[in-house]
Amino acid sequence: MKISILGLARIAIVIVTYNSAAVLAECLGSLPEGSKGVNLTQVVVADNASRDASQQIAEEAGARVVQTGRNAGYAAAINAGVASLDLSELDAVMVLNPDCKVHPGALAVLAGALMVPGRGIAVPRLTKPDGTLQPSLRREATVHGALAEAVIGGTLSGRISGVGEVITDPRHYEQPGPADWATGAAWMLGTDAIRQLGPWDESFLLYSEETEYALRAADQGWMLWYEPGAIVEHIGGESGTNPMLAALLIVNKVRLFRRRRGRIASAAYYLSIVLGQSVRAALGSRTARAALAALLFPSRRIQELPQ
């Protein structure tokens, strides 16, 4: 990543909103301190036709609003926001969920991480509102990883090196380093990588779009880099409580795996996911029951996003 003549990385921020008025003001309010040490050229709010005060809040804070015209999903909103930018005048673009608060200096740390050739994506340490770690790093999905999660659970399997998809061992988050992919709530993308990779895949309306993008980046030689010196607070958590969103998350994981792997591996992965959701459903999980129904009866189309 090349730095401007003034020595400060030129950064734009794209925040995706959909009825986000309850959290957007705090997100926008964190940016002056969060962007210390970089040249924050503009803030774009890519809005998916919110029916609340999201647009008004954004405009009052000085952000530029780009409307998608419908609830088009996370990837489509990112694409709309990025398309409104002049990448030739930027070194990187920060993509944010509206329920994030950027800690002081975080953008400068991420921009510094992208100075190393070959790094196309930099991600921060995500914390919960109470300040505790929010595990955000992921391994690429595998059959043995899905089976381990089904048998011993995601938390335990995530502590075993090379097994569970979600990396849950807190020690892994103490040092910077590469990762296969990471939660898409807060990413900084180098503009060279953006140009080469092209738009995000809009067929994933919600969930797996960041996975697909990170794995595509790796396929083309770009590294995703985790930088714990940059901290972003993230609320999140809807997929753990909302049955429809939980089902969409699981279905999209299987869809992406099938795109990238052969029939035999895909069938084994699907059966491992079904096993895991069956166990959780038997223990009374409403979200697992919804995910299991979506997996077993794909003709019953998930209403992916409310319009």
What residue has token string 């790796």?
A: 218
Short-list 132, 151, 123, 286, CA closest to 211? 123
| Residue 290 CA to its chain's centroid (Å) | 22
Beta bridge partners of 95: 14, 187
Residue-level length of the chain: 307
Q: Which residues of 51-66 are buried (b: 16+ CB within 10 A; e: fewer)?
A: eeebbebbeeeebebb
Mind listing the pLDDT tens digit for each residue in 225-283?
Answer: 999 999 999 997 665 668 888 888 999 999 999 999 999 999 999 999 999 999 989 99
Task: Give pLDDT tens digits for 6-32.
Answer: 579 999 999 999 999 999 999 999 999
With contact defined as beta carbons under 8 Å apart, do 180 and 215 qualify? yes
Q: Does domain 10-140+180-235 have CATH number 3.40.50.10490?
A: no
Long-range contacts of 53-56 (CB under 8 A, 24+ apart): 53/21, 54/17, 54/18, 54/19, 54/20, 54/21, 54/24, 54/98
Identify the H or E element spanning 171: none
d(C-alpha 100, C-alpha 27), whole Å: 6
Domains of the chain, by residue range, sit at: 10-140+180-235, 240-296
Of the listed ranges 40-54, 133-147, 156-170, the one predicted with least confidence:
156-170
Mean pLDDT of the residues in the chain: 91
Q: What is the pTM of this model?
A: 0.91
Q: Give the strand pairing for 100-102 and 223-234.
A: antiparallel
Q: Alpha-carbon distance 263 to 149, whole Å?
A: 21
Per the CB < 8 A criterion, the answer to whether 93 and 12 are in contact is yes
Question: Tokens 């103490």 identify what position?
Answer: 174
∠ Cα 120 123 127 (to 5°) = 175
pLDDT at residue 297 in the model: 87
Collapse the DSSP code of 306 into the 3-class scheme (helix H, G, I; strand E, B; otherwise coil) and give the result.
Answer: coil
Question: Within its chain, how far is the Cα of 17 from the centroid?
Answer: 14
**Contacts for 171 with CB less than 8 Å, ≥ 6 apart:** none
**pLDDT (tens digit per residue) in 171-229:** 999 999 999 999 999 999 999 999 999 999 999 988 899 999 999 999 999 999 999 99
Residue 34: CB partners within 8 Å, gap ≥ 6? 101, 102, 103, 104, 105, 106, 107
